[in-house]
Chains A and B, each alone.
Chain A
Amino acid sequence: MLKTVTGFFRRHLAAMHSADTALNERYIITKSIKHFLSALFRVLVIVGICYTILAPVFGIIANSFFSNKDAYNPMVYLIPQQPTLERYQMAIDILNYLPTMANSLLYSLLLMLLQILICSMVGYGFARFKFPLKSLLFACVVITIVIPTHTIMLPLYMTFRMFDPFGLCTAIFGHPLSFMGTTTPMYILTLFGCGLRSGLYIYIFNQFFRGLPKEIEEAAFMDGAGTWYTYFRIMLPNATPAVITVAVFSMVWQYNDTFYAKLFLMPQSQSIGLRISSLVANIANQYQIMDKTIQNLYLDAGIVLMMLPVVLIYVFLQKYFIEGVERSGIVG
């Protein structure tokens, strides 16, 4: 058995070098079969996994068009027989869709801009300047990535409940300020580089700036540009891949986040995620729809509404984004 196998391979090896055309042809055929099989395997795996990812999304979209009858008809699968837009009507009504969405998007957009500005600055500082304690401080950045915010959620809550850093607020306003129920804590945290996953963004920018050639800056310096001018006019425009990566990440994650929104008791009008989490309860209370299956149809409609802007942004920026992730050296 073993001998035949080794013989088989030896023959193919010989085929590679010999001028024997018949053997050579056979070699080419086995090679192309091999190629075909590996391509087939790849297609199968990719199709299978894409199915696992996309199927639930399609399921949610299909569900949101089901009428009550469809939901209980065992013959109906994915394509509704009596499609209805009633789920969307009610979901838009309960979510107060357009104003909430506008608020939500504005909130994530502003925070995204802040994140880009602050994190790129800090990343640039770590990438291009030499100063004492630099490696220790950068280790601290990594620590902020590794230790989750949940560890410090209580102190954060307490801090912003009575916001009084170094007694500044008492000195100015006469009493500590309470930021509960507003979005201010998030802006403050982001402004000081402690927002949602800021550590990761700093890391991405740092890696990217380290990969840029030093000559660009030297040329700018020779021409008399100051450090800040160089940064804003030369380095930041050159960092477009990293900026796009961070922009999409921070926009989407901020938009999806409900942890901080709940922690700082933000009003429901500010976050569509909060509204979604109370959608089912609202439907049960206001419209007396107690059936779990039917409630879920409304929830699905709400979720489609919530996903819509994110998916649109993603579809438009997708190409730049994935290129950006790959080029920005999210890895070291």
Chain B
Amino acid sequence: MKKRRLSLESKRKINGYLFILPWLVGFIVFYVRSLFMTVEFSLSDLQMDVVNGGYNLTWVGLKNYIYAFTAHGSFKQILTSSVLNMVVDIPLIIFFSLFMALLLNRKFKGRTLVRAIFFLPVILNAEAILDAIESATAMVATGVSAASQEVAAESAGIGMAYYIDLFGSLMLPKSVLEYIVGATDRITSIISASGVQIVIFIAALQSIPSNLYEVAKMEGATAYETFWKVTLPMITPHIITNIVYTVVDSFVSSDVVTLAYNEAFTNYNYGLSSVFSLVSTLVTCGILLLICGTITKKSSFYN
């Protein structure tokens, strides 16, 4: 009997599936199934079955959603403030990391060391360490003891108010000024949230072919023009990558997630917790789509 041999192409097809098989199984068994389960939980009343170890679902329709949006004490506020924080932080982090990447991309002495330091916050991103760093920042700025804290706060307070006032007389709109002051206030958190973004931008800058710069130079473009006409268009796709990363990262550590976690594991209200998770995820995805859509539309010159 003649054995039908597979063509090379179909052999490679099968091999391709074999390579991605572990992920495919995991994706279907754990991910897709879990997403459906979250939707199911959010539409039902879930009771843990202590005896058998399982759980019982009672269909309640939209009751959990209605409760979350009309009766729950803090969900709407926390969701709004988390989303607002995220939206406020995105431009700050993106601009800051782009700026730093441009700065670090030049050759200078001690560049390796500086890059290593900039990447340190990514390494120290454990919850406990972050909390400790926050309190240590205050300590280093003001000193440990209560007495010196008061002195430092007083002297710093007067100086800051004066300088802010100085900028206020520059006729800047008040909202802009407040935004900038708020940003400098949160400089530590912004720096520690932009480690990966800086590296992504550096990699992007290095992947720009150097002949583009040569052409720009030959044509007599200034550094300013080169940035707007060559550098920025070339790294636009990476700006999107960075925005996605920033949004996801800040969502993971936002208060909504904590709320959902506590609702499930301290209040044992699983249905409501699923509603929180689902709604906040949908809102985040919506924001992501909106931002990425706008940027791709605006940057149509990218080939």
Q: Do A and B come from one complex?
A: yes
Residues of B within 8 A of A303 (CB): 128-129, 132
B90 at the interface (CB under 8 A from A): no
User: Closest CB-CB distance, A322 to chain B, in whole Å?
Assistant: 5
Residues of A within 8 A of B19 (CB): 121-122, 124-125, 129, 231
A242 at the interface (CB under 8 A from B): no
Residues of A within 8 A of B237 (CB): 331-332
Q: How far is the CA of A192 from the CA of B41 in the complex (A)?
A: 24
Contact with A along B250-266 (1 / 0, CB 8 A): 01100001001100100
Taking CB atoms and an 8 Å cut-off, the chain A residues in 185-224 that contact chain B are: 189, 191-194, 198, 202
Chain B contact residue count (CB 8 A cutoff): 93
Per DSSP, are chain B's interface residues mostly helix, strand or loop, or mixed?
Answer: helix
Pick the contact of A122 from B20, B135, B251 — CB < 8 Å? B20
Do A159 and B34 touch (CB < 8 A)?
yes
Q: How far is the CA of A202 from the CA of B192 in the complex (A)?
A: 25
Q: How far is the CA of A311 from the CA of B124 in the complex (A)?
A: 8
Residues of B within 8 A of A56 (CB): 132-134, 136-137, 139-140, 188
Do A49 and B203 touch (CB < 8 A)?
no
In the complex, residue of chain B having the shortest beta-carbon distance to the beta carbon of A252: B123
Residues of B within 8 A of A330 (CB): 199-200, 203
B147 at the interface (CB under 8 A from A): yes
Q: How far is the CA of A159 from the CA of B277 in the complex (A)?
A: 17
Can you show 20 pairs from A to B with CB atoms below 8 A apart?
A55-B137, A57-B133, A76-B144, A122-B19, A122-B22, A125-B20, A131-B16, A151-B278, A159-B33, A192-B30, A193-B23, A273-B126, A300-B132, A303-B129, A311-B123, A311-B124, A318-B112, A322-B112, A326-B203, A330-B203
Q: How far is the CA of A295 from the CA of B103 in the complex (A)?
A: 41
In the complex, residue of chain B having the shortest beta-carbon distance to the beta carbon of A176: B53
Do B123 and A293 touch (CB < 8 A)?
no
Do A154 and B129 touch (CB < 8 A)?
no
Known A192-B23, A194-B27; contact A331-B204, beta-carbon cutoff 8 A: yes
Do A122 and B116 touch (CB < 8 A)?
no
Known A59-B137, A331-B200; contact A53-B22, beta-carbon cutoff 8 A: no
Residues of B within 8 A of A145 (CB): 244, 248
User: Closest CB-CB distance, A76 to chain B, in whole Å?
Assistant: 7
In the complex, residue of chain B having the shortest beta-carbon distance to the beta carbon of A122: B23
Q: Which A residues lie at the B interface, using CB under 8 A?
A: 39, 42, 45-46, 49-50, 52-60, 63, 66, 70-74, 76-78, 118, 121-122, 124-126, 128-132, 134, 137, 140-141, 144-148, 150-159, 161-162, 165, 176, 178, 189, 191-194, 198, 202, 227, 231, 252-253, 255-258, 273, 276-277, 293, 296, 299-300, 303, 306-307, 310-311, 314-315, 318-319, 321-322, 325-327, 329-332
B72 at the interface (CB under 8 A from A): no
Residues of A within 8 A of B116 (CB): 314-315, 318, 322
Do A146 and B248 touch (CB < 8 A)?
yes
Q: Which B residues lie at the A interface, using CB under 8 A?
A: 9, 12-13, 15-20, 22-27, 29-31, 33-35, 37-38, 41, 53-55, 100, 103-104, 106, 108, 112, 114-129, 132-137, 139-141, 143-145, 147-148, 187-188, 191-192, 199-200, 202-204, 206-207, 237-238, 241, 244, 248, 251-252, 257, 260-261, 264, 270, 273-274, 277-278, 281, 285, 288
Q: How far is the CA of A253 from the CA of B187 in the complex (A)?
A: 23
Do B145 and A193 touch (CB < 8 A)?
no
User: Closest CB-CB distance, A65 to chain B, in whole Å?
Assistant: 12
User: Closest CB-CB distance, B245 to chain A, in whole Å?
Assistant: 9
User: Closest CB-CB distance, A32 to chain B, in whole Å?
Assistant: 16
Per DSSP, are chain A's interface residues mostly helix, strand or loop, or mixed?
Answer: helix
Do A147 and B281 touch (CB < 8 A)?
yes
Residues of B within 8 A of A329 (CB): 203, 207
Known A130-B16, A154-B274, A326-B202; contact A74-B147, beta-carbon cutoff 8 A: yes
Pick the contact of A59 from B53, B136, B251, B277 — CB < 8 Å? B136
Q: How far is the CA of A273 from the CA of B38 in the complex (A)?
A: 28
In the complex, residue of chain A having the shortest beta-carbon distance to the beta carbon of B121: A53
In the complex, residue of chain B having the shortest beta-carbon distance to the beta carbon of A73: B145
Known A159-B34, A306-B128, A307-B124; contact A129-B144, beta-carbon cutoff 8 A: no
